[in-house]
């Protein structure tokens, strides 16, 4: 409302005052770091939230293809290369599947 007709609503979560994408440094310095401090949380990088989100989804059994799409990785191999260590049950699942098939 402050900038009137100059506001560009792009449907962003954290827009600048004009509605355009916020400068990453401004977002970190003006919003993210103060929020961490007020919440008593450790000083982490904004990008760490992305890894945390992916990690939590995978640990809760969200399909790797969906995680890939949500993260915007071009290929599933990028996601698997980055997060496959969080999927230790993969081998066990294959074993149980074969056991069910032949039982």
What is the share, in percent, of the chain residues with pLDDT greater than 90?
Answer: 34
Cα angle 87, 91, 93; round to 5: 90
Asked whether the beta carbons of 89 and 61 are under 8 A apart, the reply is: no
- For the record, the structure tokens of 71 come out as 């993260």
| pLDDT at position 90 | 59
Single pTM value for the model: 0.62
- For the record, the structure tokens of 62 come out as 């969200």
Determine the Cα–Cα distance for residues 64 and 59; give it in Å rounded to an integer: 10
DSSP code of residue 13: S
| pLDDT at position 58 | 86
Top pLDDT among 20 and 91 is at 20
For range 25-42, the mean pLDDT: 93
- For the record, the structure tokens of 95 come out as 């074993």
């Amino acid at each position: 409302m402050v900038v009137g007709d100059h506001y560009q609503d792009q449907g962003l979560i954290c827009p600048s005052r004009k509605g355009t994408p916020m400068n990453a440094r401004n977002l970190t310095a003006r919003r993210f770091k103060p929020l961490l401090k007020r919440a008593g949380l450790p000083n982490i990088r904004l990008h760490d939230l992305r890894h945390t989100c992916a990690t939590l989804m995978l640990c809760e059994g969200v399909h790797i293809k969906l995680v890939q799409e949500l993260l915007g990785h071009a290929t599933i191999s990028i996601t698997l290369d980055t997060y496959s260590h969080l999927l230790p049950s993969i081998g066990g699942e294959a074993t149980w599947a074969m056991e069910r098939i032949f039982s």
